[in-house]
Chains A and B, each alone.
Chain A
């Protein structure tokens, strides 16, 4: 039914359209609900509604002993699991005033870089898929599979490892890389082929990966870097000036893409990063394409770091966790025959350890940016307050500024370039 006055006024009233993007949109990277106010196809305002994945991790951590929350950290940014754990165990170690053995530090750094590669591969595959490049996704997941196997070999799980512990890492690297067994899906010949690279130790497997991986990155670059469509979708999209990047609290590749050379691994080094040789790539224009180039180069640098760690770890066996059983569990066999070990084990897994009162903030260079843990202790066996500083949180908060004035299709490129994961944003 048309209203009468519409006939009196021949000019139609032009109104901005409000578009609901997500939370069930494949390009929304999980559970982002984006309210877009649009003038035609141009974004006027973007208002993200987050919190659909809010689990109250920080509140849950307040209700249990320190060690029991390590597993929650994996579930924050669930594509860079061990880096999250790293910030958390560093915070506990700083609170307690302990330093893990050097071998544990090398293992942590190696797995941090494996995690960085894992994260960037996931990002590259998903970002490519979002803006129209299908093949790259399959290429990325091929390499991810090998790294997932490394996760599984050290921790028993492919994703949520809970491998880092205050005082070191849970166990040493396995001497034998796990192999596939023949099944009704894989014949013996296929399995033999799959196990070809798994004949030696886990370090051999990782070493072979680090050798092979730069070639894989070349393959990705052949597909994308000079690809006309890829450039049309990313060059000059979502430009952030260095001044704005600082104002908006950007960190990691988002900040480096805007041309600011800032990497915690170099600037505020933790663990053994000062002993390793690697470079920090930075962008020039601060657009989606530069951030892509930065992340691609970071993968190459990660392979370099992994290679150096493998070399050190091969030559230097030793303890991987502190021998202080007030903090770390005693060996299983000791527990069976030694009363004191049994008591230590019992106390550690029931009450845990009490951290002295105080507050610390530790940050690591997470694949997405600065991942910080603010931990307040009142002297109890549980954290008094845990605050997770997630890199993606600040990045997503800037989406209104980055997307305004762009077309609808560019919003997808901008969400992709931010590398958002809702596990860490909603916490």
Chain B
């Protein structure tokens, strides 16, 4: 909490949002607030219209899938004890117990008048994940929400036109979910007999070239982020 500006904004945000604020973290100079998905419209409205905040721009909106968060492919500790193995642990990913929800929607807001950024997060509990659309507050949310719907399957209530955006016409599934394989399920090729492009199941097999490794003892390990309030 060295930057006085961060402090001012932090107090102002907690004063404005009140009980709607679930938690607030300052990490690496960036302020992250967590709100409940049912409060998202009110919170967004306050953050945009409050005179001392004026987050007039929605810079980015993205989905996150926390399914395999913090899970390594290759347990270095046990590998050291029992002898190194090249095997990558392909166990079914499970949502960590302490996660508030599998999916989250992350909003990056920018206040031009106060030259400050904030990150607003909402964890989604429902299945399928569902949250209110903020298109009425920031018009540019339109495509960002379509993208999050396309890639993660997050539904945005009262979005004017929630169609797929980036994937192919007729695509099935949500490719950025952690349980969607990297190589996908179908591939296309040109069929000489049928004289058109056809879809078929993928013929390539994915290989893990570098296993995902988590090392707690690494030299870059950061100090724990400052948790402001936890309601």
A217 touches B (CB below 8 Å): no
Q: A374 to B104, alpha carbons, bound, how many Å?
A: 14
Asked if residues A64 and B210 are in contact (CB atoms below 8 Å), the reply is yes
Q: A203 to B112, alpha carbons, bound, how many Å?
A: 37
Q: A359 to B104, alpha carbons, bound, how many Å?
A: 13
Q: A363 to B222, alpha carbons, bound, how many Å?
A: 21
Q: Number of contacting residues on A, CB 8 A? A: 59
Asked if residues B214 and A380 are in contact (CB atoms below 8 Å), the reply is yes
A199 touches B (CB below 8 Å): no
Q: Specify which of A247, A352, A356, A426 is in contact with B222 (CB 8 Å cutoff).
A: A356
Asked if residues A354 and B220 are in contact (CB atoms below 8 Å), the reply is yes
Q: Which residues of A contact B93 (CB under 8 A)?
A: none
Q: A268 to B5, alpha carbons, bound, how many Å?
A: 13
Q: A246 to B70, alpha carbons, bound, how many Å?
A: 37
Asked if residues A51 and B167 are in contact (CB atoms below 8 Å), the reply is yes
B27 touches A (CB below 8 Å): yes
Asked if residues A356 and B59 are in contact (CB atoms below 8 Å), the reply is no
Q: A60 to B176, alpha carbons, bound, how many Å?
A: 10
Asked if residues B59 and A393 are in contact (CB atoms below 8 Å), the reply is no
A139 touches B (CB below 8 Å): no
Q: A379 to B72, alpha carbons, bound, how many Å?
A: 9
Q: Which residues of A contact B72 (CB under 8 A)?
A: 380
Q: A370 to B119, alpha carbons, bound, how many Å?
A: 16
Q: Which residues of A contact B220 (CB under 8 A)?
A: 95-98, 326, 353-356
B102 touches A (CB below 8 Å): no
Given A56-B175, A246-B57, A249-B57, verify A379-B216 contact (CB < 8 Å). yes
Q: Number of contacting residues on B, CB 8 A? A: 49
Q: Specify which of B30, B140, B182, B209 is in contact with A360 (CB 8 Å cutoff).
A: B30
Asked if residues B218 and A268 are in contact (CB atoms below 8 Å), the reply is no
Q: Which residue of B lies closest to A387 (CB)?
A: B62
Shortest beta-carbon distance from B118 to chain A in Å: 10
Asked if residues A361 and B27 are in contact (CB atoms below 8 Å), the reply is no
B69 touches A (CB below 8 Å): yes
Q: A360 to B60, alpha carbons, bound, how many Å?
A: 13
A248 touches B (CB below 8 Å): yes
Q: A50 to B165, alpha carbons, bound, how many Å?
A: 6
Asked if residues B140 and A249 are in contact (CB atoms below 8 Å), the reply is yes
Q: Specify which of A251, A356, A382 is in contact with B212 (CB 8 Å cutoff).
A: A382
Contacts of B192-231 to chain A: CB distance below 8 A: 208-210, 212-216, 218-222, 225
Q: Mark B146-178, 1 if CB is under 8 A from A, else 0.
A: 000000000000000000111110000001100
Shortest beta-carbon distance from B154 to chain A in Å: 14
Shortest beta-carbon distance from B15 to chain A in Å: 24
Shortest beta-carbon distance from A304 to chain B in Å: 24
Asked if residues B108 and A354 are in contact (CB atoms below 8 Å), the reply is no
A183 touches B (CB below 8 Å): no
Q: A359 to B29, alpha carbons, bound, how many Å?
A: 11
B2 touches A (CB below 8 Å): no
Q: Mark A358-394, 1 if CB is under 8 A from B, else 0.
A: 1111010000001010101011111011010100011
Given A58-B176, A246-B57, A378-B69, verify A268-B115 contact (CB < 8 Å). yes
Q: A63 to B181, alpha carbons, bound, how many Å?
A: 11
B143 touches A (CB below 8 Å): yes
Asked if residues A246 and B214 are in contact (CB atoms below 8 Å), the reply is no
Q: A358 to B119, alpha carbons, bound, how many Å?
A: 13
Q: Which residues of A contact B117 (CB under 8 A)?
A: 361
Asked if residues B213 and A380 are in contact (CB atoms below 8 Å), the reply is yes
Given A51-B167, A353-B220, A382-B210, verify A374-B108 contact (CB < 8 Å). yes
Q: A372 to B58, alpha carbons, bound, how many Å?
A: 12
Contacts of A91-121 to chain B: CB distance below 8 A: 94-98
Q: Specify which of A97, A260, A326, A394 is in contact with B112 (CB 8 Å cutoff).
A: A260
B79 touches A (CB below 8 Å): no
Q: A247 to B140, alpha carbons, bound, how many Å?
A: 6
Q: Which residues of B contact A385 (CB under 8 A)?
A: 62, 64-65
Asked if residues B182 and A63 are in contact (CB atoms below 8 Å), the reply is yes
Q: Which residue of A lies closest to B57 (CB)?
A: A246
Asked if residues A378 and B70 are in contact (CB atoms below 8 Å), the reply is yes
Q: Which residues of A contact B70 (CB under 8 A)?
A: 357, 378-379
Asked if residues A246 and B212 are in contact (CB atoms below 8 Å), the reply is no
Q: A355 to B213, alpha carbons, bound, how many Å?
A: 11
Shortest beta-carbon distance from A57 to chain B in Å: 11
Q: Mark A128-171, 1 if CB is under 8 A from B, else 0.
A: 00000000000000000000000000000000000000000000
B138 touches A (CB below 8 Å): yes
Asked if residues A381 and B213 are in contact (CB atoms below 8 Å), the reply is yes
Q: A370 to B213, alpha carbons, bound, how many Å?
A: 32
A351 touches B (CB below 8 Å): yes
Asked if residues A384 and B27 are in contact (CB atoms below 8 Å), the reply is no
A59 touches B (CB below 8 Å): yes
B28 touches A (CB below 8 Å): yes
Q: Which residue of A lies closest to B180 (CB)?
A: A59
19 A/B residue pairs, CB under 8 Å, sorted by A: A51-B168, A64-B210, A244-B139, A248-B140, A249-B138, A267-B115, A326-B218, A353-B218, A354-B218, A357-B70, A361-B117, A372-B59, A378-B70, A378-B214, A379-B215, A381-B214, A381-B215, A389-B59, A389-B60
Known: A95-B28, A326-B218, A387-B62. 9 other contacts (CB 8 A): A50-B166, A51-B164, A56-B175, A63-B208, A64-B209, A372-B60, A381-B215, A385-B64, A393-B143
Nearest first, the 7 closest Cβ-Cβ pairs linking A and B are A249-B140, A51-B166, A397-B143, A356-B222, A389-B60, A387-B62, A54-B166
